[in-house]
Structure 1
Amino acid sequence: MLFIYLYVTILGLMLGSFYNVVGIRVPRRESIVSPPSHCPKCEKRLRVHELIPVFSYVFQKGKCRHCQERISPLYPLFELLTAFLFGMAFYYFGFQLELIVAWALISLLVIITITDIHYQLIPNRILSYFVIILIILRLFVQTDPWYDAYLGGMVGFVLLLIIALISRGGMGGGDIKLFGVIGLVLGVKGTLMILFLASLLGAVIGFILMVFGKVKKGVPFAFGPFIALGAILTYFYQNDIIEWYTQTFFL
């Protein structure tokens, strides 16, 4: 079992590194395979030993080996995060087919978090790719009842669209489509919980950032990461959250 967790961790680290590339290049409409990985400042092509997830960052002390330009700590952070979430999913689902759905959801959430942080954008190309994958997966790995996944996707999309119309642009188009895709995994109840958690987390963390001057009032900031965090919490802890909430406020 230890070997399996080690394998899952390495897989997560490698995919996390790839998701960094996808998240940085796709919004700029660049190829994810060409040119090969390189320093954005000096444009030197990175060699194999400079592409080892996390370890290369540590060994190079967070700097480019050629020009000494600082490397964003977000790169190893998302590599570690992907590995951790992949391991968590395996812990929860083991060799069940739902594990594939979980890894697909995690992959989507990591990528859109990267794109939203860097560009405040959730690209249609990424959402289109994952919506096809998740629709196909839900044909074989069904929710109970089976139509809850597809109903969740519709509810997520329509609900966010209504909020966007009422708030007159307070919700981005990418967020609306993202909820539609996530709904395929979480169903109706899970989608509603994600909206609640994402809104709560966004409000609290946004207020804290505003107090410390990191964001300005009235200036839009990335909401995708809060949707991603709400989705992860809901996917793994939905029943626990509901039980805690009912016991705390209704008993």
Structure 2
Amino acid sequence: MLTLVSLLVFAYGSVFASFGSVVASRLPQKQSIVSPRSYCPNCKRSLNFFELIPIVSWLGLRGKCRSCSTPISIRHPAFELLGGCLWVATYLYVPGWPQRAVFAVFWLFLLVLVETDILYMKVPNVLTYPGVLIFFILTVLTGIQSVKMALIGFVVNFGLLFFLSIGTRGKMGMGDAKLYGVIGVVLGPWAGLLSLVVAAFSGSVVGLTLRAFKLLKKRQYVPFVPHIAIGVIVSVFFGSQLLNWYIQLVLYRGY
């Protein structure tokens, strides 16, 4: 029964992640996310049902448009796979269906912003501004955070990124600060800060590696939202273990 439910959850997660890709590609361009239906950007042919099945269609088409053979970015099945996996992990490790539903929406929200950052180097205000209010209401109503902790999480995480954005003169985008306001509401202050530490570590490793191999120019922008997403995922599913490990390490060194 657990396996069957997990498969269904994965399927729904991948479908919603696929829709999230449509939102991410169209919203910053001020295009409708409903119409027209998905189409090949090269030959403009509308895709049929069998070409829209998450992951499976990409594999069946061998990563190419059926009509014009234009390569289809591996980003699409990758995000669909990630969306399905996140929903399954949420189903398995987050207690309570209301809480799972909130995190399911939160993952979709985060994946959309990862893609907009990769594609357009933007974190749209049209998502982050209402996101703060919507997730504040949802997390408080479902008991994920208390009103107090959600507010503190917002102030601490948004405030820190806000001042970092000013201090780094734009190297850390203000959009990242707004996103961290939402993250602080959902995760609370401490898990939110942990996700930032992980994100900074991930971003530093990738950035230094790219520079070492001369794949990154001196002032070239590197999307940070993907690293934020990594930090959030680690914080949600492994945060307690990391904090316990750190506390034990500090106590051990103290003696």
Give TM-score scaled by structure 2 length: 0.93
Please give the secondary structure, in 2, of the residue aligned with 1:45. coil
1:223 lines up with 2:205 in the alignment: no
Q: Which residue of 2 aligns with 1:105?
A: 106
Please give the secondary structure, in 2, of the residue aligned with 1:198. helix
Partner Cα distance (1:64, 1:146) in 2: 49
Q: Which residue of 2 aligns with 1:182?
A: 183
1:98-119 Cα shifts (integer Å, max 9, x gaps): 2122112211111111111111
1:85-124 equivalent positions in 2, closer than 5 A: 85-124=86-125
Residues 104 and 130, structure 1, Cα contact 8 Å, conserved in 2: no
Q: Which residue of 1 aligns with 2:163?
A: 162
Matched residue count: 251
1:57 lines up with 2:64 in the alignment: no
Amino acid at match of 1:158: G
Residues 199 and 226, structure 1, Cα contact 8 Å, conserved in 2: yes
1:89-135 Cα shifts (integer Å, max 9, x gaps): 00002444221221122111111111111111111112234323212
**Structure 1 unmatched runs, 5+:** none
Q: Would the alpha carbon gap of residues 98 and 145 (structure 1) be closer, same or farther in structure 2, given more than 3 Å must change?
A: same
Q: Which residue of 1 aligns with 2:126?
A: 125
1:204-237 Cα shifts (integer Å, max 9, x gaps): 1111122223222222210011111101111121
Q: Which residue of 2 aligns with 1:147?
A: 148
1:148-189 Cα shifts (integer Å, max 9, x gaps): 112101211111111111111121121010000111111111
Residues 105 and 182, structure 1, Cα contact 8 Å, conserved in 2: no
Partner Cα distance (1:117, 1:140) in 2: 33
Q: Would the alpha carbon gap of residues 84 and 40 (structure 1) be closer, same or farther in structure 2, given more than 3 Å must change?
A: same
State the identity as a percent.
36
Residues 101 and 185, structure 1, Cα contact 8 Å, conserved in 2: no
Q: Which residue of 1 aligns with 2:195?
A: 194
Q: Would the alpha carbon gap of residues 60 and 126 (structure 1) be closer, same or farther in structure 2, given more than 3 Å must change?
A: same
Please give the secondary structure, in 2, of the residue aligned with 1:34. coil
Amino acid at match of 2:127: I
Give TM-score scaled by structure 1 length: 0.95
**Structure 2 unmatched runs, 5+:** none
Amino acid at match of 2:116: T
Residues 153 and 184, structure 1, Cα contact 8 Å, conserved in 2: yes
Q: Would the alpha carbon gap of residues 141 and 95 (structure 1) be closer, same or farther in structure 2, given more than 3 Å must change?
A: closer
Amino acid at match of 1:121: K
Residues 36 and 45, structure 1, Cα contact 8 Å, conserved in 2: yes
CA RMSD of aligned residues (A): 1.5
